[in-house]
Structure 1
Amino acid sequence: MADDLRPCRLARPCPERLHGLQPGPRRADQAHAREVRSGLNDTPIGTWMLIAVWSAALIGIALKLIVPQHFGRLALLLYLGIGWSGVLIFQSLASVLPANTMMLLVAGGITYSAGIVFHHWERLNFHNVIWHCFVVAGASIHLWALLDYMVLQRL
């Protein structure tokens, strides 16, 4: 019972508390989630990535709020850096995730990144709509990767 009340670390979900399950790798999905969590959060690279990603996000948010008409390209580079920061832990992820899931994650990232061309092509009619279509497509591919790993692989 005391284990259920332990505090969660920042950016480390506690699935046993969310789903009312007992702590410990009693189910395969919990075991895999623990492997990924420990590989990303309990190592120095995971801690540094957490700090870097949140710092870049906060800097980008501050730039957009404080001086929205300036630093648009810098904010965009920060957001791209956040999105592609997973490359730094590619080997750790590849050792835990199936190849199909990894390919979907990369495909989603490429889709997101390709949309930036249209985001900056301001002379093109409906460039913002086209960019948002790329964003929705990238998010859908990432959702499919998550669904594939968490649900379909276990059927």
Structure 2
Amino acid sequence: SDDQWETISAWIYGFGLSSLFIVSTVFHTISWKKRHLRTVEHCLHMFDRMVIYFFIAASYAPWLNLRELGPWASHMRWIIWIMASVGTVYVFFFHERYKLVELVCYVIMGFFPAVVILSMPNRDGLPELVAGGLSYCLGMVFFKSDGRIPFAHAIWHLFVAIGAGIHYYAIWRYLYRPSTLEAKKPR
């Protein structure tokens, strides 16, 4: 990172990405070993769902903080975190009651900031953002098919890992790579 915003954005994104995979791994490990751990499993399941909202917000942070935004788009920097907070409250009160509503909330939160990204003057990295988003969306088919398609949940996690990997590459390549940094800095 060359400046304060790059450092902050990297920490936010790194924390969101790491949290998603750590919480998911701990939850699935406890869930798999579930001997007398129902309360812990329930709390970790809720936390697993909550961290998804913050991961989505953290994934957008570098794009919203390090790129020139359109006139109204700068508000998306805080709107995305409000959406993550509302999603967290929703999971806390309605965990596993309205699964389709929760899925729709994830999708809306995932696509709503993309409109802002499309309005940015510099669209480098857009194909990778779309590819990562499509990986998450295709994975949702398997997520909703859990129990009907063999290994559907594991396949869902593979799509998440692929989408996260593509987005990680895009952030590194278009926002942090030295040749890109030189091109975007005014001289």
Q: TM-score, normalised by structure 1?
A: 0.65
1:44 counterpart residue number: 72
Q: Distance in 2 between matches of 1:106 and 1:54?
A: 21
Report deviation, 1:89: 1.6
Give 1:66's match in structure 2, choosing from 73, 90, 93: 93
Corresponding position: 1:107 with 2:134: no
Q: Aligned to 1:39, what secondary structure does the other structure show?
A: coil
Q: Distance in 2 between matches of 1:138 and 1:39?
A: 24
Q: Distance in 2 between matches of 1:68 and 1:17?
A: 31
Contact 1:108 1:137 in 2 (8 A): yes
- Unaligned 5+ segments in structure 2 are 10-63, 183-187
| Residue identity in the other structure for 1:61 | T
Give 2:164's match in structure 1, choosing from 117, 139, 147: 139
Report which structure shows greater RCO (CA 8 Å, sep ≥6): 2
Q: Distance in 1 between matches of 2:132 and 2:177?
A: 19
Q: TM-score, normalised by structure 2?
A: 0.55
1:128 counterpart residue number: 153
Contact 1:57 1:79 in 2 (8 A): no
Identity of aligned residues (%): 25
- Unaligned 5+ segments in structure 1 are 1-12, 19-32
Q: Distance in 2 between matches of 1:61 and 1:16?
A: 26
Change (3 A) 1:110 1:141: same
Aligned-residue RMSD, C-alpha: 3.0
Contact 2:69 2:116 in 1 (8 A): no
2:24 counterpart residue number: none
